[in-house]
Chain A
């Protein structure tokens, strides 16, 4: 067995440590070592987008990054979203939007969509539908047909703008 090594990183603002095999993905570290099971693993080959998290402020596939590569990094997962400003009733407004617009059915892909949307709305608070569809093209959903997901993002974008204006 390849030598284990100690790593530490900041996850959702909290310092976390672990001792891991080099082959462990960041996704498995989050889920199996830290119990942060909000990040979902669909394909484990970078296609489906379910495992999307923010790595030093940018979306990445956590199935395609080794946990050892994230040593020293700042990670934001779906668990961190709810705790942020712009939250209401324990949910981030983006999560609220998916609830309001029925932007999910089985919910498996949802954490990835939420993190992708979070980055999109940080970059552009008023994305047109075309931009939303292009950005979300890296996340696969087998239930919704995407229509309600796009509606959810538009809802969230509107509410986040109102929230910022206040």
Chain B
């Protein structure tokens, strides 16, 4: 239960980190919060030759509002998301989602960037990024590119991040004050990985009809997935119980949940539909309350 030996460097600038990464492909691993990487090392499931610790790079952990978007640095701790006044005011769904992640001791170290790059299909933050069409800014060699969340999550624990690239920041849209939102998940115990979960953000128009609904499911496919058919069915409708229940029946096509010791695939699918109804009902309540 001890990691295999590795070299360790803790660069103080992103440029240094990128250079170290470039020189050590494919033997290097980037260390952010370490809440997923360290177990993999301890269990010797991975044996990198060099660990590049990003925690001493300054400026990589700031939360800022920049022209209508929230820019969140990759090494921002999950506990900072939870506490940030700016996040609570401008993108409160992030703070709500973060509460579901592990436990306080995990969130004190775990980072938003680590969670997104690790891309566990049962994780909350990738689902929120997907639901809100967040953009992930990755950098390599002085070049940066912004990858839409939709294109970032490719498969189980697999993202579009290139071997020479480092995630620098994530951009989330600022939610309108009237936007309703909810994150629901089912776990055996608080902090466990979700058996299934859903993150949703909804808007109503002037006639109290649904102007738009964004729904992302997690724990039920190799990546988080958008429930596009359900979103389309909600648009233009009144947010009434039968409309919501009908939308939740449209999840099926997108889902291929795995069966494991915790739940069968069929059960996960059922739970995803139940949670979608709950999340939408609560999101519309929030919407009506915030809009009033």
Contact = CB atoms under 8 A, between A and B. Distances in A.
Interface of A: 1-3, 5, 21-23, 25, 28, 44-46, 49, 52, 55, 58-61, 63-66, 68-69, 116, 119, 133-135, 137-138
Contacts of A45: 1, 38-39, 42-43
Interface in B128-172: none
Given A58-B79, A65-B34, A138-B103, A46 B39 contact: yes
Which among A1, A45, A61 has the highest number of chain B CB atoms within 10 Å? A61
Given A116-B105, A134-B190, A64 B2 contact: no
Contact of A52 (B7, B43, B79, B105): B105
B4 interface: yes
Nearest to B49: A2
A1 B49 CA distance: 11
B104 A69 contact: no
Contact of A138 (B5, B43, B106): B106
Contacts of A134: 190
B249 interface: no
Contacts of B42: 25, 44-45, 63-64
A137 B103 contact: yes
Given A52-B105, A119-B104, A137-B190, A46 B35 contact: yes
Contact of A22 (B6, B55, B102, B109): B6
A95 to B, nearest CB: 19
Nearest to A44: B1
25 contacts: A2-B5, A3-B7, A21-B5, A22-B7, A22-B51, A23-B3, A23-B8, A46-B39, A49-B103, A58-B79, A58-B105, A58-B108, A60-B105, A61-B35, A65-B38, A65-B109, A69-B53, A69-B55, A119-B104, A135-B103, A137-B103, A137-B189, A138-B103, A138-B104, A138-B105
A25 B7 CA distance: 14
Given A2-B5, A23-B6, A138-B191, A60 B108 contact: yes
A45 B39 CA distance: 4
Contacts of B5: 1-2, 21-23
